Amino acid sequence: MGVDELPQALKRFAGPWWVAGGCAVDLAVGAATRTHADLDVAVLRRDAPALVELLGARSIGPHQLRADGFDLLLNEAADGEWIFRRDARVRRPLDEIGVERSGLPVLAPEVVLLFKAKDPAPKDEADRELLLPRLDAAGRDWLRTALETAYPGHPWLGVRW
């Protein structure tokens, strides 16, 4: 399944969703950056039962469901805030975790990079090099603070911002 098919696949789902992972990188830069093994879609954990019912999604891990053609990444939220599942001190208003790209809801590049920072593979490093220069000042500041909080001493904190 391609990202252009997501609106049709999720048309009966009333909750928020955002293109995530490598496809979010492609949408942020406006071009395909590489071949992707999967299509990731971020959703809120509270919506998991509806997604199981609507899409027949099944659990493939504590933070992930698989639907036909894509993976649903379960994200935490409370009181109108997105909560980083790897460190609950990192939060952001729900209405600020996404952007619109090519008519699709997409995780903001700084949020994508935060997820990729856990244990960056070469493709994650390449994504950082592509996305970091595209972040606005607020996105850079948020990412730097999130990295300092969740991953003190992370190597990305030492790169040119």
Which pTM value belongs to this model?
0.94
Q: What is the pLDDT of residue 24?
A: 97
Cβ neighbors of 69 (< 8 A, separation 6 or more) are 1, 5, 9, 39
CB 116 within 8 A of CB 124: yes
d(CA 22, CA 70): 13
CB 62 within 8 A of CB 77: no
Three-class secondary structure of residue 90 per DSSP:
coil
Tens digit of pLDDT for each residue in 135-152? 999 999 999 999 999 999
φ, ψ of residue 38 in degrees (nearest 5): -155, 170
Tens digit of pLDDT for each residue in 6-27? 999 999 999 999 999 999 999 9
CATH architecture of 3-155: 2-Layer Sandwich (3.30)
What residues does each domain of the chain span?
A: 3-155
